[in-house]
């Protein structure tokens, strides 16, 4: 199976989400799947295209980035070449474009398996708190409506999320 893993951060960046995706890519590749990781190309990143542990990493130049937040419009095209798209959330600037691509493929008669792993609530201070809240309320409802599966670290964690009402809108999709 051709699987695209879409993540806001990835190796060599050392963070929880990055490590989860790296482990997942390695296991899926060992199981015989064709795995491609799509992530923003930040200044500290390695090459734009890299092979590692049996999978391919695509580091895409963001239109805009601030810290670990990036708008990567090229992700709109990821859905075309893959049967399964696994979106690691939050990734507002990537999720929206990835979802547009999945939605377009659906309109063209090509249903894709969409898996979302909800890692954490996107929070901020000051003005960013309102921006993040607005963007989450814009993207998350559409994301969960399109997903075949929504993964969370635990159901208790999902219940405690400030966006639990979105996560539990489709309880049959939620896996913890």
What's the whole-model pTM score? 0.93
Find the mean pLDDT for residues 5-25.
94
Please give the residue range of the domain that contains residue 104: 2-175
Higher per-residue confidence, 47 vs 152:
152
User: What is the structure's pLDDT at 14?
Assistant: 85
User: Per-residue pLDDT for 45 more than 70?
Assistant: no
What are the residue ranges of helices labelled H in the chain? Answer: 16-30, 92-107, 127-146, 155-160, 164-167
Domains in the chain, number: 1
39 beta partners? 59
**How many contiguous H segments (helices) and E segments (strands) does the chain have?**
5, 10
CB contact burial 107-144 (16+ within 10 A = b; e otherwise): eeeeebebbbbbbebbeeeeeeeeebbebbeebbeebb
Could you tell me the pLDDT band of residue 47, with boundaries at 50, 70 and 90?
confident
Q: How far apart are the C-alpha atoms of 23 and 144, rounded to whole Å?
A: 24
Tokens of 88: 């690691």
Q: How far apart are the C-alpha atoms of 45 and 28, rounded to whole Å?
A: 23
The CATH number of whichever domain residue 103 belongs to comes to 3.40.50.2000
């Amino acid at each position: 199976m051709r699987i695209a893993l879409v993540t806001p951060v990835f190796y060599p960046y050392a963070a929880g989400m990055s490590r989860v995706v790296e482990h997942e890519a390695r296991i899926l590749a060992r199981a015989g799947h064709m795995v491609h990781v799509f992530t923003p190309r930040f200044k500290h990143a390695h090459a734009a295209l890299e092979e590692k542990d049996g999978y391919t990493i695509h580091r895409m130049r963001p239109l805009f980035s601030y810290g670990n937040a990036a708008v990567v419009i090229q992700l709109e095209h990821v859905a075309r070449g893959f049967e399964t798209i696994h979106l690691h959330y939050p990734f507002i600037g990537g999720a929206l474009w990835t979802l547009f691509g999945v939605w377009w493929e659906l309109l063209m008669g090509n249903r894709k398996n969409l898996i979302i792993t909800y890692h954490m609530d996107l929070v901020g201070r000051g003005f960013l708190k309102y921006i993040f809240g607005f963007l989450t309320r814009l993207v998350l409802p559409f994301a969960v409506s399109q997903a075949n599966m929504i993964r969370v670290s635990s159901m208790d964690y999902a219940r405690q999320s400030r966006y639990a009402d979105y996560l539990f809108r489709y309880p049959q999709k939620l896996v913890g």
